[in-house]
Amino acid sequence: MNPGARADRAPRLVRPYAVTGGRSRPTRNTLDLITVVRVRHLPPPPVAMAPTELSPEQERVVAICRDGGLTVAEIAAQLSLPVSVTKVVVSDLVDGGLVTAQAPPPPTHLAAAYAQQTDALLERVLDGLRNL
């Protein structure tokens, strides 16, 4: 852990959890509710955590994602963990090379360049909904 790192962070979240090793913020801030978490089935990179280093929560995340991807929100709900804690656990697993996290879609407040791309996406969503 890096004890100095917390002080300069925005006070958005907070009280550290035991399960997160005392940190209240994930090591990466790209995790979203619908970020897809998948277990890496390829040989893990040299920096990978050894299975013995996993916390119980990390083991549970790996276990429920072993057969396929789930979103951060789905993992949180299935493991009965707050989303904020789940993000920290997943983030550590990504750092450890055991899972991958697929980046969430671009933010809503679209730069003009996204307009066309967004329109195509909306069109697909519209078609899909009408066929429900």
Chain residues binding other proteins by CB under 8 A are 11-15, 24, 32-34, 36, 65, 67-71, 73-74, 76-78, 80-84, 104-112, 115, 118-119, 121-132
We find the least distance from the C-beta atom of residue 127 to other proteins, in angstroms, to be 8
Of 54 and 70, the one with the shorter C-beta distance to other proteins is 70
CA separation (Å) from 102 to 45, 52, 54, 88?
18, 25, 21, 16
Shortest Å, Cβ 1 to other proteins? 19
The nearer residue to other proteins, 47 or 112, going by C-beta atoms, is 112
**Cα–Cα distance, 39 to 67 (Å, whole number):** 8
CA atoms within 13 A on the CB side of 29: 6
Q: State the nearest-atom distance from the C-beta of 53 to other proteins, in Å.
A: 25
Rounded least distance, CB 114 to other proteins, Å: 9
Q: Are 65 and 59 in contact (CB under 8 A)?
A: no
State which residue, 97 or 104, has the beta carbon closest to other proteins.
Answer: 104
Which residues make Cβ contacts (< 8 Å) with residue 131, sequence separation at least 6?
Answer: none
